[in-house]
Amino acid sequence: MDLNDFSVMALWTALALYALAFIAFTFDLARRSTEVRQAADAVVPSAVARSSSTAGSEASSVRTLTVDRPTGTGGEARVTASRSPSLRVGVALTILGFVVHLAADVTRGIAAGRVPWANMYEFAMTGTLLIIGVFLVVLTREDLRFLGTFVTGLVVILLGLSWNFYVEVAPLIPALQSAWLVVHVFVASLGTAFLALGFALSVVQLVQARQERLQLELSALKMRFLATLPSADRLENLAYRVSIIGFIFWTFTLIAGAIWAESAWGRYWGWDTKEVWTFIIWVIYAGYIHARATRGWRGTRSAWLSIIGFAAVMFNFGIVNVFFKGLHAYSGL
């Protein structure tokens, strides 16, 4: 077995570990729903008793507990979930998967004799590694373990799709034999990782905002685990913060790409499809940050801008690289 074979085996192992982590995180969400339902069942009788003393003829009506959340920025849900073994197992499996994933990435690079992000397969391998890495680093600052299901699920899907792009180790073409390959593509991958985390937070924010807006009855709520998660305002603030970091890295990616283009092709900008889509992504996120900071675009509108921005990132990677011809056709397929 050579290093590339080891890399492939390690990546499959990491994929399996992430899938197991996804299952563990999903069990945690199910446990949260159960705890919320039990809390509702415990409170409903007392609520009915209180209402029966003042409702007169309405005493026979069925009362149910409703979720009551603070509306201020950063407000937290009232229902607090207990720590569960499944949550700890999910985090442990994610860390173990990251270590194995890192080994797969490093051995691919050693086998190729270069950085392991010169084609779509390698970019997907490195990009998903950084998504998990950013998630684990952010966990040391913010308790976002509730995002484990969404993050590991996204990585499992992307890694699964990456096998469609698999190519054998090959030497770099002349245009890629530059130090800018190390900087430009790595920073783009890092920016994508932060934007992916912002995307996950925005998706949860939309669901949470709908719950808060409709004020659904807790006992009838299908996704009861939402009552244990941060409020929509808090989720929006977190998404905004990580998206700003991703936007900074993406801005550097755009600038570094222009400098590299001048060195390789003699011009800073040539309206190549990849260049155009990189700029479109930059404009979407610039609009998202500007609109939220100066125009008061908060709540659902800001969340949708974040989601649209990440959809453009995925389009740039999965569609432009494969189906559009241009100077950036380095997929290796």
Task: Match 């699920």 to its residue by tokens.
Answer: 153
pLDDT digits (tens, 9 = 90+) for 223-264: 677 777 888 899 999 999 999 999 999 999 999 988 988 887
Distances (CA, A) of 266 to 133, 184, 260, 278, 288: 36, 17, 9, 19, 33
When pLDDT is cut at 50, 70 and 90, the band that residue 29 belongs to is confident
The whole-chain average pLDDT of the chain stands at: 81
Q: How far apart are CA 24 and CA 42, in angstroms?
A: 27
Where do the structural domains in the chain lie, given as residue ranges?
A: 117-323
Model confidence at 82, pLDDT cuts 50, 70, 90, reads low
Closest alpha carbon to 210 in 300, 313, 79, 117:
300
Q: What is the pLDDT of residues 303-321, one digit of tens each?
A: 999 999 999 999 988 888 7
pTM of the entire predicted model: 0.83
What is the C-alpha to C-alpha distance for residues 100 and 155, in angstroms, rounded to an integer? 14
pLDDT > 70? residue 50: no
Place 83 in a pLDDT band, splitting at 50, 70 and 90.
low
Q: Over the Cα atoms of the chain, what is R_g?
A: 23
C-alpha neighbours within 13 Å on the C-beta side of residue 289: 16
